Structure 1
Amino acid sequence: MTRSSRLWLAAALCLPFSAPGLAATAPSVSAEQDKAQAIARVVEIINRPVTHLARTDEASLFSPGWFHEGAIKPDFANVDVRATQELPYKDYRWVTSDLNPQEMFIASALEFNAMTKYFYQDRSLPKHRLSQDDMVEINALYRRIATDEHAIAMHRFETAGLVAVLLAVAAALIVAYRRVA
């Protein structure tokens, strides 16, 4: 086999692997964009502003702060935020925190939800109570995020597999070339 024919053989062997690798980037990009859009919508819903009122003696004080530190990443494929909604202020009319000593908030308009806390942007303020429609929409957005994360992971797995195959083919061609040369 001549050197020229070996190069043509190498190119022919690599061509089928390079085309899918190039085409496979498109689904990952659209999945990344869709995931980002879904997250942006979740953040928008969860972080809607609450009504701020001037504090009076009627406000019950919650301390320290509104929330404990940390947040877990929700299991986007399975969680139902309707089941994890907590109403810790339901027995009060007005509430405040050591973080907001000059303000108070309408207790019935507030909630805590461990499965949305991951997206809380300002933890110095309480979070508004989500409606049933809000929670249904968040659940749907969470499913989109899960689907997109799976597509992104599969793309990375496929890309890694493609690289491994190309490296193996390249190594085999180098060994074959050295034996012939």
Structure 2
Amino acid sequence: MNINFLPSPAILGAILASLSLPILLIILSHGVWKVRALGKRFIVACWLIIGLWLVSLGFEIANSQESLALLLSNFFAGALILMTGILCNFTLWTLVAWGFTLSMLIALSRENQPLTLEDWIRAYTNGQTLETFTLDRLGVLFHFGLATYDNDRVIITAKVGFLVAQITRLLRLFFGLKQ
């Protein structure tokens, strides 16, 4: 029995594509290739790495002398590796791009001196109040249909908002996080 420890092109392509995602995000952050919207930038980078991976699949199919079962197993293994890479990169991307706690830390570091709570809020919100920040965060809930605003009241949406809240509670309970 001959054992080959080299990964197939589909698996190697998935590994290399996953590792290239941060590089593509950097490229898509500057110059003529810049994608301004952060979420869209990540999606474009993901489609690019999926394209890279599909090229490696094509190479494997065109040059393979393996059985269909082995080709399919390499495809599924590569797909799982690629999805894992995307999820890992997305976790890092969301922390860097939208991370509330890290953004607060950056605001504090820009001031380079101890701040009162009020001064820190102004530094974080670029001179605005905490109410301005709260309204900005509410805008995200409104945008995704998780809440609405009616007669000076914020209301959770009956289907989507309530469902997301319940799923989040369940996940927090499952992962032992604070409710």
Q: Given the two structures, how large is their TM-score scaled by the length of structure 2?
A: 0.28
More strand by share: 1
Q: Which structure's CA Rg is the greater one?
A: 1
More helix by share: 2
